[in-house]
């Protein structure tokens, strides 16, 4: 009898869920389907795939459009839903905060990952965003690989998907960078893997997830895959005269790297890796992206992701475009070649997902963790009035101004991540009022060349802002951020005169792709401004799962509206 009642109750629950999800009850008591899923009534996909491309500006989608394959970026744009005006809503824009914000559905003000590394006001030491001295490395003995997600304050969408399935389903995260794997996987990930180039190159993990690498991961590390990429070398995919969207290969705006005399093709990776001993050079080539696809697909197969009705999560973060962008800038042949090759790698990934999980059975999204600035020297040479921000002179200016007014340089405890940290002890010893010192410095540093806006911790806590100051406020975390926050002028960077960087509150750093594809998604687009914190609640709402615990974003309603 108990079993019969249990079966009847289960049947009623499923019927109720089917009515809720598939449509509304019409006047004649028949179910009408206003919002049919592309999965023929299934209430959840088998797999959620999150793709983050490190340092992908939005314009890369269309600048190289004519040379993309039909099965990579074009497949997503033509068959998926694209948010064409998607932005990061905070500053500074870095890799750690970017990945955390995408998956947590909120900004550094809430989740606490304010930078890749930051000055700790509590310990008076530097804190790396995924550092954890309580764990041990797995797959290597390198102390620097002691990593975990413990420094983020909140859950993310991966966690919530697993919680919704009562801890069933798997979460596997893969990246070249440790933070690109760990932060998307969340606190409940079954495994996060990242790449280290030492000892010939391998994927490693941490005791937070496992005691030893699974046999399939060890087998991959022992295979010839990594060495084969090194031996292949980096040659241009196309004839050089076809890179019409880039500067000449021998450009003055690129950083010399890999111990070369010029940043020009071809690159002998085997020689630069010392015969395969140091595979870190792969990070700075498109083959770092290939490694992520290779390892991610092996994880998909060996961990049997997407093979049952419990939703699994696979996160892939392609870090190499960031290394290449920093070295070569946003308008180099190298960056164009990188995206053309990444497009082919994504085409292969999508085909394998179709085959192994089933077309329409997985929900996929693609976005980026930040953009990047055009190399200022290139703009200067074309008579655009931008400059380089002299950080060393700025530090001297701040300390000199503080010493002149208050009689001590020790008031300045640290300057990093476009923030100034003040010493509470020194101010107390001198009988100073913190707010007065904050206000003085916020006003004073406006005199320094290149400072665009400033604000203070007090104002961040008490005020309501709009415009670029709002981006600073969303990047300000009361526990971890400094006393004075600032942004430098549009187009300016604090960086050498070759290569480029990111971190500003301006469009070239904040405007990135966000595309949904696959299960439950109809083709379409919106030019309404959407924000990074909207990604996680959009995914969880499609899955009828609770949004991450501190999510501040809103689902992109057009994704569902377009089907009505």
Residues with a known catalytic role: 95
Cβ proximity of 407 and 430 under 8 Å: yes
Rounded to whole angstroms, what are the CA distances from 159 to 71, 108, 135, 187, 379? 30, 18, 20, 7, 44
| CA angle centred on 243, ends 238 and 247, rounded to 5° | 140
**8 Å CB contact between 155 and 111:** no
| DSSP 8-state class, residue 434 | H
What's the residue count for the chain? Answer: 564
The 3-class SS string of 47-113 reads EEEEEEECCCCCCHHHHCHHHCCCCCHHHHHHHCEEECCEECCCCCCCHHHHHHHHHHCCCHHHHCC
Cβ 34 vs Cβ 24: under 8 Å: yes
3-state SS record for 163-228: HHCCCCCCEEEEECCHHHHHHHHCCCCCEEEEEECHHHCEEEEECCCCCCCCHHHHHHHHCCHHHH
3-state secondary structure at position 493: strand
What's the rounded Cα separation, in Å, for the pair 479 and 177?
26
Residue 250, φ and ψ in degrees, nearest 5 = -90, 85
Q: Which residue(s) pair with 365 in the sheet?
A: 50, 516
Rounded (10°) angle between helices 535-542 and 95-104: 30
Both tokens of residue 157?
Answer: 């969408």
Residue 276's CB is within 10 A of a number of other CB atoms, namely: 16
Alpha-carbon distance 206 to 187, whole Å?
13
Residue 253: name the closest of 63, 391, 381 by CA: 381
The CA distance from 500 to 497, in Å, is: 8
Contacts of 393 by beta carbon, 8 Å cutoff, 6+ apart: 448
Q: How far is CA 14 from the centre of its chain?
A: 37
Q: Which helix (H) or strand (E) holds 279?
A: none
Which of 111, 109, 180 minimizes the C-alpha distance to 147?
180
Angle between helices 287-302 and 320-328 (to 10 degrees): 170
Measured torsion, CA atoms of residues 231, 237, 240, 242, in degrees rounded to the nearest 10: 180
């Amino acid at each position: 009898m108990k079993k019969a009642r249990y079966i009847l109750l289960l049947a009623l629950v499923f019927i109720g869920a089917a009515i809720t999800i598939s449509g509304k009850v019409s006047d004649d008591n028949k179910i009408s389907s206003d919002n049919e899923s592309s999965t023929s009534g299934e209430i959840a996909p088998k797999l959620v795939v999150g793709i983050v491309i490190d340092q992908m500006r939005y314009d890369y989608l269309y600048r190289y459009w004519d040379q993309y394959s039909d099965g990579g970026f074009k497949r997503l744009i033509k068959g998926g839903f694209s948010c064409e005006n998607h932005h990061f809503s905070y500053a500074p824009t870095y890799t750690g905060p970017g990945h955390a914000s995408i998956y947590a559905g909120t900004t550094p003000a809430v989740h606490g990952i304010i930078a890749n590394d930051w000055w700790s006001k509590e310990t008076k030491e530097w804190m790396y965003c995924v550092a954890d001295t309580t764990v041990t490395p797995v797959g290597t003995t390198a102390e620097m690989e002691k990593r975990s997600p413990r420094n983020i304050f909140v859950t993310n969408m991966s966690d919530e998907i697993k919680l919704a399935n009562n801890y069933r389903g798997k979460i596997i995260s893969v990246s070249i960078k440790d933070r690109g794997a760990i932060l998307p996987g969340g606190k409940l990930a079954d495994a996060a893997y990242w790449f280290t180039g030492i000892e010939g190159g391998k994927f490693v993990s941490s005791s937070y997830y496992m005691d030893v690498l699974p046999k399939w991961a060890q087998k991959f590390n022992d295979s010839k895959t990594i060495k084969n990429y090194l031996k292949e070398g980096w040659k241009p995919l196309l004839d050089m005269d076809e890179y019409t969207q880039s500067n000449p290969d021998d450009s003055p705006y690129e950083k010399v790297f890999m111990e070369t005399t010029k940043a020009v093709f071809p690159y002998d990776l085997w020689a630069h890796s010392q015969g395969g001993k140091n595979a870190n050079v792969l990070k700075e080539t498109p083959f770092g992206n290939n490694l992520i696809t290779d390892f991610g697909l092996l994880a998909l197969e060996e961990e049997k992701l997407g093979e049952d009705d419990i939703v699994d999560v696979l996160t892939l973060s392609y870090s190499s475009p960031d290394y290449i962008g920093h070295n070569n800038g946003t308008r180099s042949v190298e960056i164009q070649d990188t995206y053309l090759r990444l497009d082919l790698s994504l085409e292969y990934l999508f085909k394998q997902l179709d085959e192994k999980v089933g077309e329409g059975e997985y929900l996929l999204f693609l976005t980026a963790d930040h953009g990047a600035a055009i190399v200022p020297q290139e703009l200067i040479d074309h008579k655009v009035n931008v400059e380089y921000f002299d950080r060393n002179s700025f530090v001297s200016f701040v300390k000199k101004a503080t010493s002149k007014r208050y009689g001590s340089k020790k008031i300045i405890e640290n300057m990093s991540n476009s923030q100034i940290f003040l010493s509470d002890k020194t101010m107390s010893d001198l009988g100073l009022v913190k707010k007065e010192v904050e206000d003085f410095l916020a006003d004073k540093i406006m005199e320094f060349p290149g400072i665009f806006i400033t604000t203070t911790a007090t104002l961040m806590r008490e005020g309501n802002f709009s415009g670029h100051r709002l981006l600073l406020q969303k990047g300000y975390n009361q526990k971890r951020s400094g006393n004075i926050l600032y942004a430098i002028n549009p187009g300016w960077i604090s960086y050498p005169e070759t290569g480029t960087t990111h971190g500003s509150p301006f469009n070239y750093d904040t405007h990135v792709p966000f595309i949904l594809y696959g299960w439950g998604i109809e083709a379409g687009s919106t030019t309404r401004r959407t924000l990074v914190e909207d990604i996680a609640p959009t995914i969880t709402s499609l899955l009828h799962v609770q949004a991450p615990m501190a999510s501040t974003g809103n689902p992109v309603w057009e994704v569902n509206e377009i089907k009505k």
